[in-house]
Amino acid sequence: MSFCHHYVTLIFKELAVSVKRAIGIVLAVGLAIVVIKGMVNAPSQSRPHVSDMERREMEVKRVATLESYTAADLASAYRENTYAADLTFKDKQFKVKGTVANINTDFRGKPYITMKGGANQFMEPQFALAKSDERFAAALKKGETITLACTGRGDVAKTPMSGECTFIWLD
């Protein structure tokens, strides 16, 4: 083996060790950054406590600013022009009032309500309840008139879909 070949082999071995060290350092620094960011962005344990009454008052104020529609308004809008209806309702919050047609569960066992107003019983607007309000579905009866605050989710085959719905107890 020549001196030159031996020298080049040593250089490559040293270079390989240096690269491994550099990769180790980069990984260690990256991990440290992730840990520090997590600590900085973690929710504070000393957040001010918001009472149930304050939370209700904030909800009443928020709901008061929402546009009001009937379930029949939603059904008609989607029946006439899906694109225009999406511009009005999809990903937007609104109030909706209507008569309960059915109380059902989806494939995950989560309750949703259909309200009268669709072209037929299979196209009634659907309203998935927010987790906080799911327990109220058990007390509902067909034919009751209810008001919900919801976020539009668009439609499935011209059937209006809404989610994160919460009951509005006082109109």
Q: Whole-angstrom Cα distance, residue 109 to residue 7?
A: 71
pLDDT tops 50 at residue 46: no
88 burial type by CB count under 10 A (0-12 exposed, 13-18 middle, 19+ buried): middle
**CATH of region 58-167, choose from 3.20.20.140, 3.40.50.11540, 2.170.190.11, 2.40.50.140:** 2.40.50.140
Q: Whole-angstrom Cα distance, residue 134 to residue 111?
A: 6
pLDDT in tens, 49-91: 677 778 778 877 888 889 999 999 999 999 999 999 999 999 9
Domain spans of the chain, in order of start: 1-47, 58-167
Residue written as tokens 């022009």? 81
How far apart, in Å, do the first and last CA atoms of the chain sit? 93
Both tokens of residue 85? 């209806």
Whether the model pTM is above 0.75: no
The residues that bridge with 96 in the sheet, in sequence order, are: 69, 148
- Least confident interval from 3-7, 99-103, 136-140: 3-7
Nearest Cα to 62, choosing from 123, 151, 160, 141? Answer: 151
Q: Whole-angstrom Cα distance, residue 42 to residue 146?
A: 39
Kind of pairing between the strands at 159-167 and 126-129: parallel
- Least confident interval from 11-25, 63-77, 100-114, 122-136: 11-25
- Least confident interval from 28-42, 75-89, 102-116, 119-133: 28-42
Residues 6+ apart with CB under 8 A from 84: 77
